[in-house]
């Protein structure tokens, strides 16, 4: 690894500030649930499918019982199943038809109902566990590429066309395939159902689409002799549900940030914090690597001036991830190559930032995002910029390299754009494979000075946030120059203050593995 001297104490200080920031928010998080958490619970208990109008059944039940959710949906559903002698799906279908009304239904025997709820949820977790084992076995059998992994996006809107393009990029050397979502999906308060062939700038994330892509990537991986990872987005209004469905269909990575939805989708802060916690516990259990979205800060804010906010946010994302039981190897903390290429020594500044993030989180597979802001219709210069990005990625041992596209500023990538970006990255990674480990930066030089400066600024920023509280910091515009109030944003009406008898059958099962869940079990 690249040699760069940093003040250990400063890194420790940043980490301890972030932990204190996150733990204060965590007190608020564990007092709440959300509609999407409750729907995720129903999905774990085996509820899937849609009614005759196409509404997902978890939405039917949660919507029907929305006035009674303070103690969770699981007991209500399980108790009704017992009393009516119905499966969970029949229960939801009858509610949808209007032939069953559970709004005043009493829970006769909470103990029996809770046992049923846990038994059902355990079946869901067994499926997730099995997928985790399948992944681990496939990696042992097929092997995997050394990091940085080559990550590319497909996004045709049609899952069957995505499969063709995904197969092509695997042949060309990709290790990770992300199916970017339809632009509208993050703000849908439900998960669409079934295979989809129409989307806007992307393909809808559905369980069926996950499975179709999984099968294709497994086949391609077998052929090429390396395990290929699939990525989707546990973000927006349905983080917990997408996490559950992704875990069941063996997604390998999930975009799953603790702040992104608040800042960039104007989703209610409490909703997002509660949702990220539950979804991350699922990801922790499933062995999924999360990706965080700090790169987005630099599309609005300047990369030199606000580099420290990226680092500060990485520490905060790490702290929240820890509180959800994710291990460092599962934390794909994000940052980006977004410094204006016109400024002098921009390459040194990029190396400083990349090396700094790498050093602060030595066990995390750092997710490195390509230039976007300074990409123009000049695809030839864009290709040069992407080459520099690849060089910095390999020099500084990034974990996950999201490849830049030369047509970034123009359109959804052509298949040839992906080919060119993979060829570029494979060349640079191979050509500079051991170069980073031979470099020792002068402690008085620009790279060291810049890394120290960003670290110091991040510590200051984190100390300030620790003092004022994260929610206040978000309201003042600490991240990405965007201000969000705690009460505002979309999805606020789906936040539930937990009652004294709140019950969630996922907690006792998660608690067997994840320390983070134990707190909640004790609470409820």
* Interaction of residue 235 with another protein, rule CB under 8 A: no
* Strands lying side by side in the sheet with 149-154: 331-332, 289-291, 253-255, 229-233, 176-179, 149-154, 400-402, 367-369, 334-336
By the rule CB under 8 A, 483 interacts with another protein:
no
Number of residues engaging another protein in binding (CB under 8 A): 34
Q: Please identify which residue in 137, 183, 327, 493 interacts with another protein, judged by CB under 8 A.
A: 183
Nearer residue to another protein within complex by CB, 72 or 173: 173
Peptide bond into 393 cis (omega under 30): no
Residues 6+ apart with CB under 8 A from 273: 25, 28, 29, 258, 320
Instruction: Give the C-alpha separation, 85 to 132, whole Å.
Output: 33
Is residue 295 flagged as an active site residue? yes
Please give the structure tokens belonging to residue 212: 């179709």
403-404-408-412 Cα dihedral, nearest 10 degrees: -20
Select the span of 100-108, 127-135, 170-178, 381-389 touching another protein (CB under 8 A): 170-178
Degrees (nearest 5) of the Cα angle 366, 372, 378? 135
* 44 in Cβ contact with 281 (< 8 Å): no
Cα 84 versus chain centre, distance: 38
Structural contact between residues 172 and 423, judged by C-beta atoms closer than 8 angstroms: yes
- Asked if 485 is part of the footprint of another protein (rule: CB under 8 A), the reply reads no
The residue from 265, 426, 449, 513 that contacts another protein (CB under 8 A) is 265
Kindly tell me which residue out of 409, 432, 439, 446 binds another protein, with binding defined by CB under 8 A. Answer: 409
Exactly one of 295, 314, 397, 417 is catalytic; which is it? 295
**Of 16-24, 69-77, 92-100, 167-175, which part binds another protein (CB under 8 A)?**
167-175
Would you say 24 or 381 has its CB closer to another protein? 381
> Catalytic residue at 502?
no
Of 252, 234, 241, the closest CA to residue 47 belongs to: 241
Extract the tokens encoding 239: 């983080």
Q: Is 300 in the site for another protein (CB under 8 A)?
A: yes
- Distance between CA atoms of residues 236 and 336, nearest Å: 21
Q: Which residues contact 197 (CB under 8 A, 6 or more apart)?
A: 157, 158, 159, 160
Near another protein by CB under 8 A: residue from 101, 414, 437, 493: 414
Instruction: Record the tokens describing residue 440, joined without a space.
Output: 């020792």
Total Cβ atoms within 10 A of residue 438: 9
Q: Does 172 bind another protein (CB under 8 A)?
A: yes
Position among 56, 58, 157, 508 found at the interface with another protein (CB under 8 A): 157
Is residue 411 involved in binding another protein (CB under 8 A)?
A: yes
Please, which residue, 123 or 423, has the CB nearer to another protein? Answer: 423
Given candidates 162, 167, 397, 520, which one binds another protein under the rule CB under 8 A? Answer: 167
SS3 content of the chain, % helix, strand, coil (to 5): 55, 10, 35
The verdict on 158 binding another protein (CB under 8 A) reads: no
Q: Find the binder of another protein among 187, 347, 446, 475 (CB under 8 A).
A: 187
Binding to another protein by CB under 8 A, coded x per residue (else -) over 325-364, reads ---------------x------------------------
Tell me if 186 contacts another protein by CB under 8 A. yes
Does residue 143 bind another protein (CB under 8 A)?
Answer: no
Site of tokens 């046992």: 115
Query: Stretches 268-276, 319-327, 415-423, 449-457: which one binds another protein (CB under 8 A)?
Result: 415-423
Q: Is 106 a catalytic residue?
A: no
Residue 462: closest CA among 271, 325, 318, 293 = 318
Among 266, 457, 460, 466, binds another protein (CB under 8 A): 266
Among 103, 123, 141, 171, binds another protein (CB under 8 A): 171
Task: Cite the active site residues.
Answer: 260, 295, 367
Would you tell me which residues interact with another protein (CB under 8 A)? 157, 167-172, 182-184, 186-187, 200-201, 264-266, 299-302, 340, 373, 376-377, 409-412, 414-416, 419, 481
């Amino acid at each position: 690894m690249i040699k760069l001297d940093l003040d250990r104490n400063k890194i420790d200080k940043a980490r301890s500030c972030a932990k204190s920031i996150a733990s204060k928010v965590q007190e608020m998080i564990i007092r709440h649930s959300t509609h999407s958490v409750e729907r995720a619970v129903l999905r774990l208990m085996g509820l899937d499918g849609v009614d005759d109008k196409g509404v997902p059944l978890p939405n039917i039940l949660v919507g029907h019982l929305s006035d009674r959710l303070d103690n969770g949906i699981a007991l209500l559903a399980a108790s009704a199943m017992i009393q009516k002698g119905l499966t969970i799906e029949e229960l939801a279908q009858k509610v949808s038809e209007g032939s069953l009304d559970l709004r005043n239904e009493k829970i006769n025997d909470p103990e029996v109902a809770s046992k049923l709820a846990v038994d059902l949820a355990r079946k869901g977790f067994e499926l997730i566990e099995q997928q985790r084992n399948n992944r681990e076995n496939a990696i042992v059998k097929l092997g995997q590429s050394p990091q940085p992994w080559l990550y590319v996006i497909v996004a045709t809107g049609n899952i069957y066309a995505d499969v063709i393009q995904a197969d092509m990029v695997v042949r060309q050397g990709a290790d990770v395939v992300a199916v970017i979502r339809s632009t509208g999906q993050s703000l849908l308060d439900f998960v669409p159902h079934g295979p989809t062939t129409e989307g806007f700038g992307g393909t809808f994330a559905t369980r069926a689409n996950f499975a179709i892509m999984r099968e294709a990537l497994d086949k391609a991986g077998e052929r090429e002799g390396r395990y290929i990872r699939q990525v989707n987005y546990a973000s927006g209004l349905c983080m917990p549900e997408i996490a559950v469905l992704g875990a069941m269909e063996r997604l390998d990575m999930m975009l799953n940030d603790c702040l992104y939805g608040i800042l960039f989708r104007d989703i209610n802060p409490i909703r997002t914090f509660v949702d990220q916690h539950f979804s991350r516990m699922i990801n922790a259990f499933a062995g999924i690597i999360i990706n965080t979205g700090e790169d987005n800060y630099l599309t609005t804010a300047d990369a030199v001036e606000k580099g420290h906010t990226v680092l500060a946010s990485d520490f905060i994302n790490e702290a929240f991830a820890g509180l959800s039981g994710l291990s460092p190897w599962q934390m794909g903390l994000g940052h980006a190559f977004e410094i204006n290429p016109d400024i002098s020594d921009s390459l040194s500044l990029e190396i400083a930032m990349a090396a700094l993030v790498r050093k602060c989180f030595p066990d995390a597979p750092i997710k490195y995002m390509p230039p976007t802001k300074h990409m123009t219709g000049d695809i030839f210069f864009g290709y040069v910029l992407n080459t520099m990005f690849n060089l910095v990625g390999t020099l500084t041992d990034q974990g996950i390299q999201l490849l830049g596209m030369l047509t970034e500023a123009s359109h959804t990538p052509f298949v040839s754009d992906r080919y060119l970006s993979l060829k570029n990255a494979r060349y640079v990674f191979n050509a500079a494979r051991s170069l980073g480990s031979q470099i020792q930066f002068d402690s008085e030089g620009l790279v060291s000075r810049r890394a120290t400066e960003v670290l110091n600024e991040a510590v200051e920023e984190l100390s300030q946030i620790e003092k004022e509280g994260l929610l206040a910091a978000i309201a003042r515009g600490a991240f990405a120059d965007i201000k969000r109030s705690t009460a505002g944003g979309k999805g606020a009406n789906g936040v539930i203050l937990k009652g004294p008898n709140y019950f969630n059958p996922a907690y006792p099962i998660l608690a067997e593995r994840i320390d983070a869940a134990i707190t909640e079990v004790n609470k409820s």
